[in-house]
A and B are shown apart, each in its own frame.
Chain A
């Protein structure tokens, strides 16, 4: 590649990637911005102030989203860590792993639509617990697939050795498996967090609009034609992943 073309390409790419966030940031601080204005007529912080006010439950929604995503990430990572270990020891590991791919490839909102009736029967629709469980149903298989390559022969042998040295199952998790797996556990925690944090379709379907997570709020402001508040909510949605990018960019590379 010729240096000049390379430079132009980088500028183009940077524009393409930075533009959405930059545009939304400007939108969130503009008092009005519509056709045919190229730039907002005046800047204001009122949308941000409103979002912190109680009438606009944006901050509350962010807290709810955080709590749900943290819960989903913790439960699904832990459950998948255990079950992927048992799978690695099982004769049927290939078949068991295959099962995890089915919910993985399915559109979450379609899955929600298909099982919605069972949530209604169980009284879980429109509740936070129901949304957490529904998120778990897609975050768990993801984490299982992520862990599936992790349990190699060496790790399993080390685990067995710890057992013959007298460590019970709980001790082995505490003293050997968890400390050795810090990296992959962190990866799974962050990525399952993002799956839940970004999820809109499943949350709105199972939550019936009664569980106002941040994504549901973004959509609500968009459909109420309030682009400024939608931009504020959008930026709040982008903030934690950006933080992750700053901590460790590897956490962001995931398939969905």
Chain B
């Protein structure tokens, strides 16, 4: 459903994207791993229409989209920060996308309330963003994106600022909802474990190109991915503690 062909982007002499091509299937979640500064964010911004590529083509369901402004692409870009509108309450933040589409009031109410319920935020609809906890803010930010049925969700390290428990909760919730609505997702992270548990497929961004692994096992086997190193680390600790137990 998303096809990216030979995307190029450079800032001055620094090339960020080098003939980057890949595709995402309908309902797929693609995790993209990469170091900071590897061009992950640039890629997402180009897809969302917030930056222009130097060259290349992007097709969404077979239709070229690069000439379209962000509001006409149907892709929602979510940042690490929730960026809830501080002047709107929870309900209005969620309903934002419906309001700008000028849907009838009744439909806005119904859809927003349903989603609030589903995200476990039904009791908070009148609150202002600053009254919410980090996890709750994240839920609202999600709901605000999901409510417009985006063709593609672009997530830029969305859980990066949450504590580890809330983070796991959000990962679960997120996976459940994406499966339920069959939303296609590009999920950028620098966390290996998160990439593995969120993505149907995993890709790694390096030197302006994207390497997609057909299977998880391929990813783990690739030494450059760092997965093997990570596993060896944990295995090492396990062996060590086993050995200690034995010695005692």
Contacts and interface: CB of A to CB of B under 8 A. Distances in A.
Interface of A: 154, 157-158, 160-168, 171, 175-176, 179-180
Contacts, number: 63
A154 to B, nearest CB: 7
Contacts of A167: 71, 96-97, 100
Nearest to A179: B87
Given A167-B96, A167-B100, A171-B100, A180 B50 contact: no
13 contacts: A154-B83, A157-B81, A162-B85, A162-B96, A164-B75, A164-B77, A166-B97, A166-B101, A166-B148, A168-B69, A171-B100, A179-B87, A180-B86
B138 to A, nearest CB: 14
B111 interface: no
Given A164-B76, A167-B100, A180 B71 contact: no
B70 A176 contact: no
Contacts of A162: 85, 96, 100
Interface residues of B, number: 27
B9 interface: no
A163 B97 contact: no
B174 interface: no
Interface string B106-145: 0000000000000000000000000000000000000011
B217 to A, nearest CB: 35
A160 B49 CA distance: 9
Given A157-B79, A168-B100, A171-B100, A163 B85 contact: no
A179 B71 CA distance: 20
Given A167-B71, A175-B96, 14 more contacts: A160-B50, A162-B100, A163-B70, A164-B76, A164-B154, A165-B76, A165-B96, A165-B145, A165-B148, A166-B100, A167-B96, A171-B100, A179-B87, A180-B86
